[in-house]
Amino acid sequence: MRVATFNINGIGARLPALLQWLDETRPEVVCLQELKAPQEKFPEAAINDAGYGAVWHGQKSWNGVAILARGSTPEELGRVLPGDAEDVQSRYIEAMVGKLMVACLYLPNGNPAPGPKFDYKLKWFERLIARGAELVASEVPVIMAGDYNVMPTELDVYKPERWLDDALFRPETRAAYARLVGQGWTDALRSMHPGEKIYTFWDYFRNAFGRDAGLRIDHLLLNPVLAPQLRKADVDRMVRGGEKPSDHAPTWVELDGCF
């Protein structure tokens, strides 16, 4: 079973690339971020025609998350990260796909830091850590996948010395991610590539992709029930090099068993 996460950076502009990738790779579950489309503009018909059911939480111009399932429709469990009733940003959705619980997230960028956006990022992270503590202890398999907007270590960023003051690499952000993973989650990509520079994002500027000047900011975390089923994890780099690409590449895990 393949589960992927993909920050699509505008599903309207990237729909052809998304459909091509779905046709070529056929993952069973896909978590999408940055739909940048209101709820009614999600291309449900095209996704259905590709063989996928979907649940999504859209937002005009910004944010937006979705969970796709091949051959079925995910059973939505919730579309708001608990902890702040006034937060209206579309950044989180949970669903069951068969027996697998899927949490799809788009953690705030937080720049410029310090400042109000960075404060929001850290508060959102605290809410995720609280929800993570519940999910990591679940008796069912759980995957928490998405764009976390954090490079956990120096291995996860090209020229880390240039990123010291960035919200994605500040000590507070990295410490929050470490606390989350420390609950008992397995960072699947790093687990499968422990000493490798492996990136999931390349900026559009300065030929970043051509120079492999990337970041690892898209993560798939597995709870202890699911982690023993992990067999592979990788990044579909070729998608980033395609026509009108997102600045992210799909990142995925392969799991044993039927969920």
Buried b (16+ CB within 10 A) or exposed e, 117-142: ebebbbebbebbbebbeebbeeeebb
Whether 147 is a known active-site residue: answer yes
Element (H, E) at 231: strand 230-235
DSSP type of residue 115 = S
Whether 148 is a known active-site residue: answer no
Select which of 23, 84, 92, 106 is catalytic.
Answer: 106
Q: In sequence order, which residues have a C-beta less than 8 Å from that of residue 122 and are 6 or more positions away?
A: 110, 172, 173, 176
Distance between CA atoms of 237 and 195, rounded to whole angstroms?
18
Closest CA to 27 of 203, 239, 186, 215: 239
Q: In sequence order, which residues have a C-beta less than 8 Å from that of residue 35 and are 6 or more positions away?
A: 8, 10, 11, 42, 56, 58, 59, 63, 64, 65, 66, 90
Which two tokens mark 157? 């960023």
Select which of 52, 147, 148, 187 is catalytic.
Answer: 147
Integer CA distances (angstroms), 26 to 20, 43, 160, in order: 10, 18, 35
Q: Which sequence positions are flagged as catalytic?
A: 106, 147
